[in-house]
Amino acid sequence: MGHGGSANTTQRLSLKHPILWSTTKPYLYRVVTEVRRGQTLEDTYETPLGVRTFQFDAASGFSLNGAPLRILGVCQHHDLGALGAAVNTRAMERQLELLKAMGCNAIRTAHNPPATEFLDLCDKMGFLVMDEAFDMWQKKKNGQDYHLDFKQWHQRDLEDQIRRDRNHTSVFIWSIGNEIREQFDSTGVRLTRELTATVKRLDPTRPVTSALTEQEPAKNFISQAGVLDVLSFNYKHAEYPELPKRFPGQKFLATEIAAAYETRGHYDMPSDSLRIWPKDGKTKLTTGNPDLTASSYDNAAPYWGTTHEKAWRAIKQNPHITGAFVWSGFDYLGEPLPYPWPARSSYFGILDLAGFPKDIYYMYQSEWTDKPVLHLLPHWNWKPGQTVDVWAYYNNADEVELLLNGKSLGKRQKQAEDLHVMWRVPYAPGTLQAVSRKGGQTVLTRTIKTAGPAAKIELTADRRKLRADSKDLSFVTVRVLDAAGNLVPDAAHLVRFSVSGPGVVAGVDNGYQASMESFKADSRKAYNGMALAIIQTTAKAGQITLNASADGLTPATVTLTSN
């Protein structure tokens, strides 16, 4: 090969008994390519390689390596909460760890190509990825969106994305669009064929889909193009049973389900009454909460969405839907429906912007994992005589018994399609306890106590051993506790942070969607008893100590080691 020249070479490798990549055992090989001139090594390149087979089947659903698998997914925006939109690998890894622990096995990148580092993590951690290209084509959704660049750039952008991402084992399907306006006229047919052909030319191995809103064939010009391998639909769960009749022989995915609103630690009763906010596309919301909160009982949703429980139930009842992507995994910056400013981040997440699980996290964990789950809500600080709805999410058990100050309030069992059990309890201060049992044997016990006055701060770091690379992070959870160690559910103290050693406060948060405090401050008010401090390393090694203090509370410290 001469100076400055280029050449293509094709090599075939065979693996006799490959270890297969899966969502539970994401085994990766490395393919090392070396370029040599004589004996001199000029360049080297490593490509991760996972070996797996998968298929969508209209009759039997989705399978990975020949075994049936339900796609249990979430949609993820790109931002990382208090850190903003810039890529930080550890922040993305933490999000994926929390989703993995919930039982999630798939991510839809909504609605743009993800960072390469994100796909590297999904390869390593065992997530299937729907890699999505566009949120709009030629027809605009907003005045300054990608429709202005589509004509000139879409071909190049799509080719670059497929070439960049096609070696990632985690990517199992390409999406060429989300709720595209060309669904409604014949330009949708031409563009769908053109975009799908581009994908297939560069990667003939994976299916192509597009997230659609219209579930009537006559109204959907994207599905009429006849080239999508899988038909994916957003919302409208009541129509799932009709899909096989409307689109015979097709394979189906639910690309967006739920879109319910929750604010962590806030509860509106009665818990079994649904708040549709707003009630339609033309009516302004006037019935919301003055403090811009939504209930953590999973009982508030927009007219086009539904509760998490109703959406998941519909997926369970319709096996022809091969899987679902919940809107959304985490709260994200922007789109603060149903509220106007000063609400500034979304309410849709299963986890809040700080990465603290909302109660609904445990509903999914009880459904999506085999590990024993028992989650009791709400907190136990109410007004004397108030009737409180007490819920429990559970699995691996026949029943749950609830006790208040040692006195049984009865046993409950999930009936038919139930995803939780409930008691209506006249409030009395003290100890609320749930016990789950299987065959009479105790599986798990959960206890919530009435909290006294706030007394102290507790700090918990997700990781104490860090890399001194100016990028690594420790996410430190701040909890305001009473003297006995109970979380104080309405604590709103201003917590001040100081760091000694080779580290900095990279961001602070509390998960409240309408907080106007800076993400880049050295203090944060607790919200419903909790806050977050994100500590970032520098290039120096050493001990990093975070100190947290607030007026009237015993302060706390946590020490991290950076190497």
DSSP reduced 3-state for 93: helix
Going by C-alpha positions, the residue among 158, 225, 151, 157 that lies closest to residue 185 is 225
Angle at 525 between CA 521 and CA 527, to 5 degrees: 130
Do the Cβ atoms of 534 and 507 come closer than 8 Å?
yes
Spatial separation of the C-alpha atoms in residues 2 and 7, rounded to whole Å: 10
**Cα(422)–Cα(345) distance, integer angstroms:** 30
Given a contact cutoff of 8 angstroms between Cβ atoms, the answer to whether 346 and 292 are in contact is: no
For the chain, give the longest Cα–Cα distance: 87
Is 97 considered catalytic here?
no
The type of residue at 228 is L
Locate all alpha helices (DSSP H) within 389-522, ordered by sequence. none
Peptide bond into 378 cis (omega under 30): yes
Tokens standing for residue 26:
């994401």
Distance between CA atoms of residues 477 and 531, nearest Å:
6
Measured distance CA(227)–CA(209) in Å, rounded: 9
Quote the strand ranges of 91-156, DSSP E: 106-109, 128-132
Whats the size of the chain, residue-wise? 563
3-state secondary structure of 294: coil
Q: Which tokens sit at 458?
A: 């507790």
**Do 150 and 137 form a contact (C-beta atoms < 8 A)?**
yes
Strand order across the beta sheet in which 503-509 lies: 454-461, 473-482, 530-537, 503-509
Task: Answer yes or no: 159 catalytic.
Answer: no
The C-alpha atoms of residue 309 and residue 316 are separated, in whole angstroms, by 11
Interatomic CA distance for residues 554 and 376, integer angstroms: 28
3-state secondary structure of 325: strand
Q: Pick the catalytic residue: 179, 182, 214, 262?
A: 179
Cα distance between residue 306 and residue 561, in whole Å: 45
Sign of the CA dihedral 312, 317, 318, 323?
A: positive
User: What does 113-142 look like in DSSP terms, one character per residue?
Assistant: PPPHHHHHHHHHHT-EEEEE--S-SSS-SS
Catalytic one of 182, 214, 256, 367: 256
C-alpha distances out from residue 338 to 236, 258, 270, 282, 546, Å: 19, 14, 20, 13, 36
Known catalytic residues are 179, 256
